Amino acid sequence: MSDHVSEPVTRNSEASRYEVQVDGNLAGVVEYDEHDGRIDMTHTEVFGDFRGSGIGETLAGGAIIDAVDRGLTIVPSCPFIESYLRKHPIAGANIEWPKGD
């Protein structure tokens, strides 16, 4: 397996997910629900041999930047996305933190 991300993070609106490819293979996704100016990032998954290669961080960062660029409020329901946002503040991000924070 190569650790080379061959394509940028892309938004697949039909499937309601962000995707990243490595050497032409789907390496991971961030699933989301988008409505009323909000994007609830619900689940992040990196597949098989791609785990532990940094793909998750690449994917999270790309998804968040796209949401910020589109002016959406980010709801980090996924623990991975929440952790990423806490460790890597993104300028201009409007975040609706989970209850209890």
Prediction pTM value: 0.89
Question: Is 1 within 8 Å of 47 (Cβ atoms)?
Answer: no
20 in helix, strand or coil? Answer: strand
Q: What is the pLDDT of residues 15-68, one digit of tens each?
A: 999 999 998 899 999 999 999 999 999 999 999 999 998 999 999 999 999 999
Instruction: Return the closest-CA partner of residue 21 out of 9, 31, 12.
Output: 9
Beta bridge partners of 37: none
Sign of torsion, CA 67 69 72 74? Answer: positive
Structural domains of the chain ordered from first start = 10-95 (3.40.630.30)
d(CA 50, CA 28): 8
Instruction: Return the closest-CA partner of residue 47 out of 78, 81, 1, 86.
Output: 1
